[in-house]
């Protein structure tokens, strides 16, 4: 079963230039970076796929976590114990977690683990190599991570994506909500909402869980801001949705539902994500999503009166959506 | 509630005889019938598709809500899963929450709107059968409760949507409700008899298989409970047992180590030392050894032995071994350093061509030097057991059998190692021509060997014994080998010696081996096959020489030895080619002995005498050769040398340190006749009676 808001037709570019521009820029950036991205990723995967590297890194990280217990949540310390007992799966897991830990990245060079010195020495060579690959990796250059958090990165991270699937879903939702909202509030407000949601989302993420050593990328926070904006502005008004219940005629089609359905279908899963995922282990930045959404709601409430007076929601919705 | 029971039996009952299509239609579907307040039973019933779609629509709303409720539990469960903590209660809690949430969702939406949001969306309503109104609170609750309960049965009872005459599922019947279409939506009539019979059949089938599955699951969990051990993880040994049961550490190492701890001599041995000993004996593989080492190294217990284990587990990586060597040999006199040094030398097979070339060019036998040093080291009191296993293995590799046997006397035959020692002892005794002792040790070792070791041992004995002939003790070994050829042909085919043994055995005992070899030979490499085929027909000498000259067989000694044996059997001398083998190796001694016999047959007595001297110098326990040398010395007039050989024969039988002699045979020549049967075993029996007669003739002639 699927439900999502759907457009009746595509508004022309002169009505909604910002959404189309964001759409094109995202795709353009992705294509431009893809060659670099692929080559860096390939070089990195060569290390990460070799069992030895990841396992040793896991053991070193585990030893590190044991020595700096106060800096790590009990779960990571528990994992460290398991890894040090020799469980190879846990070692690999800790090996990938090590790449995210800013404390590890900054402290490992002066840290001497209690373990196999020869193995550790060989690992250090590979680790240095990984760090140098990261320097030229587009996701690290454009994304937000510890060490890469200059003012430019707060904007560029919104336009970088980690894969074609990531890009596809974000662009789909950008079109769904961006076109609708831009035709409702106008280009200026949309650009402001989009970019500020990205910044606020990243800020909330940094506040709640802190930037990790692996980069935060993607337009998700900005797009969550758009969802928040739609929610705040259209709350009780009916919006055109597409639904699909069964693969049979009569069980899919268009339906008009109040905009708050979006809250259940798109915002609750992010909250669930925050509550259900284990911090330090999950790879989706739910806090950035929720932060973006909340900012979108606030933003929407602030401009609501202005927008409603300028163009009544129902008429706009009926014209474009 | 009477309707629950009445429903099945009361009208409109479809006719039971469904064989006649005309008669099977219960009532015209277009007729109108009302037996429930306000419901047209032929037009108003909700269709199964509609009800399914309504559930799907409900899920759009229900799933995000219930997932939000489950989120904290999901997080705990994830954490536990990662930490490997048992979490049955969490699953139970999650099922409970889903159950309660589903029931609450149903109850409240029925009470408020007379339908769930999904049903409202599709256009369905739930009605009481008594008055056609919204269900009461009680009805809503009962309906919701049973609705959710059926989820636990994987919703199988919902199949009755197709079999109940009013399409009322269990929860409808229990709560006296019925699901109807609202306003203009097209409804359904009662199910067709075909539909009913198919649905009932399916329901029965699914429910009964579910029942059977549950019973088996329950039985399984009961046996788990029975065999499981209670109690928390507190002590180190409990943690270790837990790690063994999850294959993080190797169980066999743990068993060996616990066995060692119970014995006086090895009381202080560590787990890594046990692992090293088992690795040297070929009982565990390198990955197992590495795990044991890591367990020690990464838990603050820095130990030289653990580094040694790491080095040995990474034998393919020369650089890594060097790094480990630096780490280990900070104390030059430590056992670990000694073992690693010797192992680095023995990384290259001592019999290999490159090793032979190196030895000849440098004039120093690295292997011998290293193995002898290790021998002195291992003979010290209180030395770790693993040092002895490595030393024994290397001494055996350079054919220093006397030291092998001496060191074996000093070793502690604990757990698994005892059988390994016995098998090595059996091989060593065999090579010094003590066949009776050899067989005795072989028999006592077999039960305790791992399957791989047993396979290797059987192949080794079959190979060695068939080199000498097809006698009865060879048959014993080869019968054992035959079992492995039958059951593990793939792995047997990988080893040239095993295959050669199988083919030779096939020539000795054709009937038993024919079938097995037919399955084995197609798995064997081409070069090997060529030699083996050449041996079957005469006049293929050319092929055999080609095999010897081929680059690909350079390091395959067993194969080359077999080729030479064939060439010799076809009547050509092989004295020159024999020299490529490491002097003193099994193949060299056996081929030289065969060549010596041929020289004698060809009446080239001086050549035979010279070759015999060479054999006697490297294989001083070779009784058959020594006896021939006495005869030859007598005939050729080398009287002093012949006397020397008689003396050697005497000391050899006298050699009490190696336990060679049997109580009866102490002195030559008077008691030789009695003792030879026992002490020389099968090879003596295999000797020609005429040769023995010659020998005694010579002994008499040599008397001063």
For A139, counting Cβ atoms within 10 Å of its Cβ (0-12 exposed, 13-18 middle, 19+ buried), the class is buried
DSSP state of B45: B
More confident residue, A252 or B352: A252
Closest partner residue to A278 (CB to CB) among B67, B75, B248 is B75
Is the pLDDT confidence value at B569 over 60? Answer: yes
From chain A, the residues in CB contact with B300 under 8 A are: 114
pLDDT at B109: 94
Say yes or no: A94 contacts chain B, CB-CB below 8 A.
no
pLDDT at B468: 80
pLDDT at A318: 57
Is the pLDDT confidence value at B165 over 80? Answer: yes
Mean pLDDT over B345-366 rounds to 74
DSSP state of B703: -
> Å from A90 to nearest chain B CA?
8
Say yes or no: B307 contacts chain A, CB-CB below 8 A.
yes
Residue A33 neighbours by CB distance under 10 Å? 19
The H or E element that residue A242 is part of is: strand A238-244
Q: How many CB pairs under 8 A join A and B?
A: 120
pLDDT at B16: 47
Contact A281 B324 (CB under 8 A): no
Alpha-carbon span B200 to B206, nearest angstrom: 10
Q: How many CA atoms lie within 13 A of B476 on its CB side?
A: 11
From chain A, the residues in CB contact with B59 under 8 A are: 1
Give me B241's structure tokens. Answer: 């047992």
User: B138-152: per-residue pLDDT in tens?
Assistant: 999 999 999 998 887
- Per-residue exposure over B535-558, b if at least 16 CB sit within 10 Å of its own CB, e if not: beeeebeebbbbbbeeeebeebbb
CB contact at 8 A, B346 and B367 = yes
More confident residue, B352 or B76: B76
Contact B293 A116 (CB under 8 A): yes
Among residues B517, B522, B577, B584, the alpha carbon closest in space to that of B553 is found at B577
Contact B56 A87 (CB under 8 A): no
Q: What is the ipTM of this complex?
A: 0.84
Is the pLDDT confidence value at B31 over 50? Answer: no
Q: How many CA atoms lie within 13 A of B607 on its CB side?
A: 17
Indicate the average pLDDT of chain B.
Answer: 78
pLDDT at B666: 31
DSSP A18-52: HHHHHHHHHHHHHHHHHHHHHHHHHHHHHHHHSHH
Give me B382's structure tokens. Answer: 């209180």
Q: Peptide bond preceding B12: is omega within 30 degrees of 0, i.e. cis?
A: yes
Say yes or no: B5 contacts chain A, CB-CB below 8 A.
no
Q: What is the dihedral angle through the alpha carbons of B327, B330, B334, B335, rounded to the nearest 10 degrees?
A: 20
C-alpha dist (Å) from residue B472 to A67, B168, B475: 67, 83, 5
Say yes or no: B90 contacts chain A, CB-CB below 8 A.
no
Contact A278 B297 (CB under 8 A): no
pLDDT at B656: 41
Contact B291 A86 (CB under 8 A): yes
User: A36-94: per-residue pLDDT in tens?
Assistant: 888 888 888 888 887 688 889 999 999 999 889 888 888 888 889 888 888 888 888 89
pLDDT at A208: 87
From chain A, the residues in CB contact with B298 under 8 A are: 59, 62-63, 84, 86, 113-116
Which residue carries 């020549």 as its tokens? B669
Rounded percentage of chain B residues whose pLDDT exceeds 70: 82
Residue B186's pLDDT band (boundaries 50, 70, 90)?
Answer: confident
Say yes or no: B126 contacts chain A, CB-CB below 8 A.
no
> Å from B285 to nearest chain A CA?
16
Helices (H), A100-163: 102-107, 117-135, 138-142, 151-156
Is the pLDDT confidence value at A265 over 90? Answer: no
Chain A residues 126-155 with CB within 8 Å of chain B: none
Alpha-carbon span A313 to A300, nearest angstrom: 13
Q: In what order do the strands lie in the sheet with A2-5?
A: A2-5, A238-244, A252-258
Chain A residues 159-218 with CB within 8 Å of chain B: none
pLDDT at A241: 84
pLDDT at A163: 87
Contact B68 A93 (CB under 8 A): no
Q: Which of A272, A277, A282 to mutate to test the interface with B (most CBs of B within 10 A)?
A: A272
């Amino acid at each position: 079963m699927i439900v999502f808001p759907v457009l009746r037709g595509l508004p022309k570019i002169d009505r909604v230039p910002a959404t189309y521009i964001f759409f094109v820029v995202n795709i353009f950036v992705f294509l431009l970076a893809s060659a670099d991205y692929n080559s860096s990723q390939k070089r990195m995967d060569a290390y990460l796929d070799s069992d030895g590297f990841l396992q040793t890194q896991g053991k070193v990280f585990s030893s590190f976590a044991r020595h700096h217990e106060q800096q790590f949540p009990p779960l990571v310390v528990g994992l460290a114990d398991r890894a040090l007992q020799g469980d190879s799966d846990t070692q690999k897991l800790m090996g990938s977690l090590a790449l995210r830990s800013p404390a590890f990245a900054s402290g490992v060079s002066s840290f001497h683990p209690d373990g196999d010195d020869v193995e550790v020495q060989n690992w250090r060579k590979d680790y240095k190599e990984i760090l140098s690959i990261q320097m030229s990796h587009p996701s690290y250059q454009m994304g937000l991570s510890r060490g890469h958090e200059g003012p430019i990165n707060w904007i560029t991270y919104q336009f970088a994506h980690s894969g074609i699937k990531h890009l596809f879903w974000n662009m789909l939702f950008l079109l769904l909500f961006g076109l609708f909202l831009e035709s409702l509030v106008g280009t200026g407000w949309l650009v402001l909402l989009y970019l500020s949601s990205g910044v606020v989302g990243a800020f909330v993420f940094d506040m709640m869980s802190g930037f990790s050593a692996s980069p935060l990328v993607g337009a998700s926070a900005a797009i969550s801001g758009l969802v928040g904006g739609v929610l705040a502005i259209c709350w009780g008004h009916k919006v055109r949705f597409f639904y699909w219940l069964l693969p049979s005629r009569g069980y899919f089609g268009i339906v008009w539902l109040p905009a708050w359905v979006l809250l259940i279908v798109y915002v609750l899963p992010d909250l669930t994500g925050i509550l259900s995922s284990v911090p330090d282990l999950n790879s989706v930045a739910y806090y950035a999503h929720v932060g973006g959404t909340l900012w979108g709601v606030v933003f929407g409430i602030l401009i609501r009166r202005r927008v409603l007076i300028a163009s009544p929601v129902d008429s706009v919705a009926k014209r474009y959506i | 509630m009477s309707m629950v029971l009445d429903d099945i039996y009361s009208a409109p009952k479809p006719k039971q005889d469904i064989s006649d299509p005309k008669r099977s239609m219960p009532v015209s579907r277009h007729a109108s019938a009302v037996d429930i307040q306000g419901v047209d039973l032929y037009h108003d019933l909700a269709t199964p598709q509609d009800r399914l779609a309504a559930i799907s629509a409900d899920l759009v709303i229900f799933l995000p809500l219930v997932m939000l409720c489950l989120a904290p539990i999901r997080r705990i469960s994830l954490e536990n899963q990662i930490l490997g903590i048992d979490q049955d209660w969490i699953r139970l809690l999650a099922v409970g929450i889903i159950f309660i949430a589903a029931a609450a969702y149903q109850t409240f939406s029925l009470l408020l709107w007379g339908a769930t949001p999904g049903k409202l969306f599709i256009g369905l309503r739930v009605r009481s059968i008594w008055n056609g109104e919204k269900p009461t609170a009680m009805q809503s609750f009962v309906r919701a409760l049973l609705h959710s309960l059926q989820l636990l049965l994987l919703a199988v009872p919902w199949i009755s949507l197709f079999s109940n005459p009013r399409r009322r599922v269990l929860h409808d019947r229990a709560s006296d409700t019925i699901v109807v279409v609202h306003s203009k939506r097209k409804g359904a009539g009662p199910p067709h008899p075909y539909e009913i019979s198919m649905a009932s059949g399916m329901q029965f089938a699914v429910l009964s298989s579910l029942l059977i599955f549950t019973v088996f699951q329950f039985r399984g969990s009961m046996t788990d409970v029975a065999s499981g051990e209670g109690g928390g993880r507190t002590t180190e040994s409990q943690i270790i047992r837990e790690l063994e049961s999850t294959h993080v550490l190797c169980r066999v190492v743990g068993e060996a180590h616990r066995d060692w701890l119970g014995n006086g001599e090895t009381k202080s041995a560590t787990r890594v030392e046990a692992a090293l000993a088992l690795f040297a004996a070929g009982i565990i593989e390198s990955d197992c050894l590495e795990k044991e080492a890591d367990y020690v190294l990464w838990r603050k217990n820095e130990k030289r032995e653990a580094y040694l284990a790491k080095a040995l587990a990474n034998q393919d990586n020369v650089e890594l071994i060097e790094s480990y060597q630096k780490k280990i040999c900070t104390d030059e006199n430590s056992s670990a350093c000694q073992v690693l040094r010797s192992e680095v030398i023995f990384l290259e097979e001592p019999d290999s061509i490159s090793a032979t070339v190196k030895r000849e060019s440098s004039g120093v036998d690295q292997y011998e030097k290293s193995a002898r040093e290790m021998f002195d080291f291992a003979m010290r009191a209180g030395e770790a057991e693993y040092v002895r296993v490595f030393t024994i293995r290397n001494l055996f590799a350079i054919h220093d059998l006397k030291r092998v046997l001496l060191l074996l006397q000093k070793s502690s035959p604990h757990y698994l190692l005892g059988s390994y020692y016995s098998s090595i002892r059996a091989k060593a005794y065999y090579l010094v021509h003590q066949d009776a002792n050899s067989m005795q040790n072989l028999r006592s070792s077999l039960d305790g060997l791992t399957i791989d070791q047993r396979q290797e041992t059987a192949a080794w004995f079959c190979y060695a014994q068939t080199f000498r002939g097809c006698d009865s003790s060879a048959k014993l070994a080869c019968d054992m080998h035959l079992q492995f050829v039958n059951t593990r042909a793939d792995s047997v085919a990988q080893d040239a010696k095993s295959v050669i043994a199988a083919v030779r055995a096939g020539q000795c005992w054709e009937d038993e081996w024919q079938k097995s070899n037919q399955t084995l030979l197609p798995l064997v490499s081409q070069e090997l096959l060529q030699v083996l085929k050449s041996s079957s027909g005469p006049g293929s000498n050319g092929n055999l020489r080609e095999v010897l000259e081929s680059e690909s067989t350079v390091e395959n000694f067993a194969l080359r030895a077999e080729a030479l044996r064939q060439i010799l059997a076809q009547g050509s001398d092989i004295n020159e080619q024999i020299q490529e083998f490491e002097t003193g190796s099994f193949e060299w001694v056996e081929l030289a002995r065969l060549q010596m016999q041929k020289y004698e047959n060809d009446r080239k007595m001086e050549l035979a005498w010279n070759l015999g001297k060479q054999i006697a110098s490297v294989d001083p326990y070779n009784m058959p050769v020594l006896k021939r040398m006495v005869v030859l010395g007598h005939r050729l007039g080398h009287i002093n040398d012949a006397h020397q050989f008689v003396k050697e024969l005497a000391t050899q039988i006298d050699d009490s340190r190696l336990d060679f002699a049997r109580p009866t045979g102490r002195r030559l020549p008077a008691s030789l006749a009695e003792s030879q049967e026992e002490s020389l075993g099968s090879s003596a029996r295999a000797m020609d009676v005429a040769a023995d007669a010659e020998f005694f003739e010579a002994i008499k002639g040599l008397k001063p």
